[in-house]
Amino acid sequence: MKVTSGHNVSVHYVGTFTDGTEFDNSHTRGETVSFKVGSGQMIPGFSNAVVGMTAGETKTFMLTPEQGYGPRNEAALQTVPRSAFSQDFEFEIGGTIQGNGPSGQFLAKIQEVQENQIVLDMNHPLAGHELNFEVEVVSVSE
């Protein structure tokens, strides 16, 4: 059966940046990813790429930022007071933090450490990147 919008699929995949650096691998986690095609459960480019595939088929494709997690948004850089963190917090530029804000839980990367404030990058970690995927459809069902 060929995958069409509305089908439930299970896939294995390896995701890499254009320089070959791996950012995700379902094989390493030891489990497939299952989703309903076209439902918004996966990024649009990934969901669209499996359409027309069959169980057992493997495909390699590249997604632009617009097909993936979107372009980087410089407005997503937020400055927060250093006092929002515990006194013993060790700041590492490029490090990732989790927190709670007015809109709920968030994940951010430490962009800059200043004397009295911290600049956080609230963009999705994969925003602005071209993403390469090798996908194998493991199963397809209606």
pLDDT digits (tens, 9 = 90+) for 75-106: 999 999 999 999 999 999 999 998 877 778 88
pTM of the model: 0.82
Kindly indicate whether the domain formed by 8-70+127-141 is annotated with CATH number 1.10.287.3510: no
CATH 2.40.10.330 region(s) of the chain? 74-121
pLDDT of residue 105: 85
pLDDT at 64: 97
- Six-digit token string for 108: 């951010």
- The string of pLDDT tens digits covering residues 24-51 is 999 999 999 999 999 999 999 999 999 9
Using one digit for the tens of pLDDT, what is the confidence trace for 3-29?
999 999 999 999 999 999 999 999 999
CATH node for 74-121:
2.40.10.330
The pLDDT value recorded for residue 103 is: 76
What pLDDT does residue 53 have? 98
Q: How many CB atoms lie within 10 A of CB 3?
A: 22
> Do residues 131 and 66 make contact, with C-beta atoms less than 8 angstroms apart?
no
In this prediction, residues 56-72 reach a mean pLDDT of 96
* Angle at 4 (CA atoms; ends 62, 18), nearest 5 degrees: 5
pLDDT for residue 17: 97
Question: How many residues would you count in the chain?
Answer: 142
| Residue whose C-alpha is closest to residue 79's, from 105, 126, 115, 127 | 115
CATH 3.10.50.40, the chain: domain bounds:
8-70+127-141
Three-state SS for 76?
helix
What is the mean pLDDT of the segment spanning 136-141? Answer: 98
For residues 79 and 32, give the distance between their C-alpha atoms in angstroms, rounded to a whole number. Answer: 38
The residues near 109 (Cβ < 8 Å, ≥ 6 apart) are: 94, 95, 96, 97, 120, 121, 123, 125
CA torsion through residues 35, 40, 42, 48, sign: positive
